[in-house]
């Protein structure tokens, strides 16, 4: 099913780098909203997010989807779940 959404990334003991390409919106000191992503059936989208980690403490990253339009196209589907793949460098 088609979907349009923003990807919301919340950092704990880390911060987004200015190396990350726009568009993104800084929500607060630890949260950014990336997007708007528009994805059609069987299509994928990628965006590289660069961030700095506070070396003295453990860190975590929380990712969530936020609908971008009033129409809710993107829905959970048990057969074809929404997934996030990542590469750690």
Question: Quick one: pLDDT at residue 78?
Answer: 58
pLDDT at res. 81:
55
* Burial class, 51, CB count within 10 angstroms (exposed 0-12 / middle 13-18 / buried 19+): middle
Instruction: Going residue by residue through the chain, which has 89 residues, state the pLDDT in tens, using 9 for 90 and above.
Output: 667 788 888 888 888 888 888 888 888 878 888 878 777 777 777 778 888 887 777 888 888 877 777 655 555 555 555 556 666 65
Beta bridge partners of 15: 52
């Amino acid at each position: 099913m088609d979907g349009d959404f923003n990807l919301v990334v919340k950092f704990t003991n880390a911060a987004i780098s200015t190396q990350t390409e726009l568009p993104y919106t800084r929500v607060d000191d630890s949260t950014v909203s990336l997007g708007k992503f528009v994805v059609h059936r069987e299509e994928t989208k990628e965006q590289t997010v660069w961030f700095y980690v506070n070396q003295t403490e453990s860190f975590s990253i929380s990712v969530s989807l936020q609908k971008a339009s009033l129409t809710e196209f993107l829905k959970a589907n048990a057969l074809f779940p929404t997934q996030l793949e990542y590469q750690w460098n």
